[in-house]
Structure 1
């Protein structure tokens, strides 16, 4: 009788175990399309054996825990690739906007306006008394100054308005995610005990970590209590932003005046100012801002040199202003000179188009058209490099994502095989119960 009772208990525990395993299968299948979900598995352990007259007899198995199938090393590498890819994608997007505003297309753009400007002075040189030629010089000069000024203004809006606003929005999102991670750490600590893991909360935290990794480069590690510590690290600066349930109220702060991002540790004791966060969307935005500002500086050098050289050759102001921000034309620059004087001045200005001049940028002297083309070539080269890097990191991310999914992802084929196996075990346990009950009934009938 004790042996049969023990058999019933063993079979009953098997039924309960397989019910849990089937529930885990069902949960896995329901999350098959969830990229942040890590496949779960019920881990069985052998139950303590009983000593009988025949020796030690096993009592079946018990479910010790339900674990997630994860590889922390691959997940960290995946997040690193996500930061790098989002950095290059963001940089490429902003540079393409800048290049679109600067590039010459059709009959518009600074290069075309500069060519028309030189042509108008050549025409005036041929016939300085021609009213139409004078009008052509005036219109070409006005169009060139407008093109330069408008292009600079567009880049200025992109840098100091659009990108600045995107940086602030990105920082707000990062702060929200850091707060969410700290809250999830708290919930996980409250809901976990040895051998019992809050797996769904861990999935939510992993999703938040992935979203944060796209914004900025992070390093994270799991502590013994189940919480994660999150650090910003770029190789030279390392700040712990989240430790367990603790995070600074504003871990990241953006100063629009200094254009610096300040990072504050979870306890408020450590802060570091980063002019350019390396990696992630935030890093892409700050890198784009720096690159575009460099283009604007070179456009200023172009405009300032053009103003000085043309005004010097003409003998009086053709252009007003000092650089690309405020360049304009002097409205009456054609009114004073005689036809002979205009002819001489037109010759001097016409000669400028082949003259190599210094633009004060540390480079070699160059023609105006070549210096302008150099700005455009640099913009195009920077954009191409960002796009190439983005493509490389996208490929790396896809490869790492595949490795991560092979470990953590749900395979419907595997789940169906496990489900059939568990169903068979359940049926076998039920059969054992049925047979054992029949044996007990026979014993009772004998009595």
Structure 2
């Protein structure tokens, strides 16, 4: 090897070590950054020895796609479970102690006691108090349910705004990647930011990324709607300010196509938007329908000859109209504090059935208790039994909620575990290992020392040559 060739080799080695050290230092500086993918300086053989030809970014397209899918599914499942848990808390939590079914059971038991002892006025007061508890429970649960729908609607609006912002930012980095790739410049930092935005987008809506020429990405939702293709597609939503049982929320449109709500306890929702739509448009309205059917049932059970008796619909045009549970109340004619008399429950509210003013008269009360145990027809839209007793129906309503919540809990655990494993596998490929980087720095130090020795040897040779030449 000539002295000039040796110097060129040493110079090339110094250059390589400098570039490799810069890459390694950047890796170490970003070791705790979850959105950073490890870099590696790739060497190739040249006339003067090895040379750095590119800085390669660690990645695995298959794991990235699986990670995006896992994030979407886990996000949707967690959102649904949070809504179902909130619905459970409306009725007292684990034991459902303030659920309508709990108060109905108490009303039924005390009504039977009153029917056995119709002369006990205190028992009449107790039954009326129990009836007020039933009405209040239906009112408060219905109102809380509509508040939940309003909150879900507001969260949808927030998610849509955030999604539009992320898509706009995604365009910025996608353009940098596309143009930089075409020009042959380093686009690794832009790729990191673009992948970070992708994970955030996937938490809001299920997304599929398609790689095109020059590393350009096109994004599609899980149902195939175009979300981003060169430019972001419009995501639009008009929020609703006030919800009642009769009010439907507006659709979320992506490029003019409605986003489909999730379905089932193990929800099909990918991302928060689809899960929020499921809560707002299916889960809460179905439970509202069940509450309305319970309210209709108690009105019918305590009616007198087809006329509302102990419970009244409080001005609602028809007991079959949505929102009955929110307005049902106890007839003031039996409430002492409102000028009524609880004995009317025994003797008749709309007409006098106890014509002899007999303290042991129990015909009406026995009729009520019998009606409690008699099968009734319920609306199939309530998604539980269509023919059963009132108390059984109200209990089944709680069972329906608990069943879907239990399924959501199990699915949430499964999807969270899958997400954890997927993220771990992806990090094993892309994350920075400090041990590996520090070991690489030691290797680079040895390469630098070897190059320095080569330069020193060449220097000594040249000096000796000049000395010999005189």
TM-score using structure 2 length: 0.85
Structure 2: give runs of 5+ residues left out of the alignment: 241-247, 263-268, 314-318, 335-343
Matches within 5 A, 1:149-164: 149-159=139-149, 161-164=150-153
**Do the aligned partners of 2:110 and 2:127 also contact (CA within 8 Å) in 1?**
yes
C-alpha displacement at 1:191, in angstroms? 4.3
What SS does the corresponding residue of 2:257 show, helix, strand or coil?
Answer: strand
The corresponding residue for 2:83 is 94
What SS does the corresponding residue of 1:219 show, helix, strand or coil?
Answer: strand
The corresponding residue for 1:230 is 219
**Do the aligned partners of 1:252 and 1:262 also contact (CA within 8 Å) in 2?**
yes
C-alpha displacement at 1:350, in angstroms? 1.3
What SS does the corresponding residue of 2:253 show, helix, strand or coil?
Answer: strand
**Do the aligned partners of 1:314 and 1:349 also contact (CA within 8 Å) in 2?**
no
What SS does the corresponding residue of 1:90 show, helix, strand or coil?
Answer: helix
Quick one: distance in 2 between partners of 1:314 and 1:189?
A: 74
Quick one: distance in 2 between partners of 1:446 and 1:395?
A: 75
Query: 1:273 aligned to 2:272?
Result: no
C-alpha displacement at 1:187, in angstroms? 2.9
Alignment counterpart, residue 405 of structure 1, candidates 427, 448, 466: 427
Query: 1:147 aligned to 2:131?
Result: no
Matches within 5 A, 1:11-410: 11-47=10-46, 49=47, 59-103=48-92, 105=95, 108-159=98-149, 161-192=150-181, 194-234=183-223, 238-244=224-230, 246-248=231-233, 250-254=234-238, 256=240, 258-264=249-255, 271-276=256-261, 278-289=269-280, 290-312=282-304, 316-321=308-313, 322=319, 323-333=324-334, 334=344, 337=352, 338=354, 339-340=357-358, 343-361=362-380, 363-410=385-432
C-alpha displacement at 1:282, in angstroms? 1.5
**Do the aligned partners of 2:160 and 2:235 also contact (CA within 8 Å) in 1?**
no
C-alpha displacement at 1:136, in angstroms? 2.1
**Do the aligned partners of 2:84 and 2:401 also contact (CA within 8 Å) in 1?**
yes
Q: After superposition, what is the alpha-carbon deviation per residue over 1:117-158, rounded to whole angstroms, capped at 9, x for unaligned? A: 223322332343433222223222222111111111111111
**Do the aligned partners of 1:11 and 1:433 also contact (CA within 8 Å) in 2?**
yes
TM-score using structure 1 length: 0.89
RMSD of aligned alpha carbons: 2.2
What SS does the corresponding residue of 2:462 show, helix, strand or coil?
Answer: helix
Q: After superposition, what is the alpha-carbon deviation per residue over 1:310-369, rounded to whole angstroms, capped at 9, x for unaligned? A: 214686522111221211121115266334496211110011222121113273421222
C-alpha displacement at 1:167, in angstroms? 1.1
Structure 1: give runs of 5+ residues left out of the alignment: 50-58, 265-270
Query: Quick check: 297-306 or 106-115, which moved more?
Result: 106-115
C-alpha displacement at 1:239, in angstroms? 2.0
The corresponding residue for 2:463 is 441
